[in-house]
Amino acid sequence: MPLFSCSRKSSKYAFGFNQTYKDIENKAFCKSEIWHSDLYAVIANGDSMIPEIDDGDEVICDPKADILSGDIVHYQINDESAIKVFF
């Protein structure tokens, strides 16, 4: 699956809208039983999610997943993205 690093500059990705990712031309891997073509991974930047997610961790994201209160999500607002707990 595509692997991106967080960036403040927008780039275009296959979702059809601007993302705050910079493609670093790497790939992330996951177990075959959870893989599907919409998955992507983001490299976490910062320490706000420690101890669950450390700076530099690869976070697998599913843009089609149902989101429930308390889930960890990757989101975008305007030109910035983040990984946070959804409430």
Sequential DSSP letters for 29-82: ---TTT--TT-EEEE--SSTTTTTS-TT-EEEE-TTS---TT-EEEEEETTEEE
Residue-range definition of the domain harbouring residue 9: 2-85
Mean pLDDT of 12-23: 41
Output the pLDDT for position 20: 41
Q: In the predicted model, is pLDDT for residue 73 greater than 50?
A: yes
pLDDT in tens, 43-59: 888 888 989 999 989 88
Number of domains in the chain: 1
**pLDDT grade, residue 26 (50/70/90)?**
low
Output the pLDDT for position 38: 84
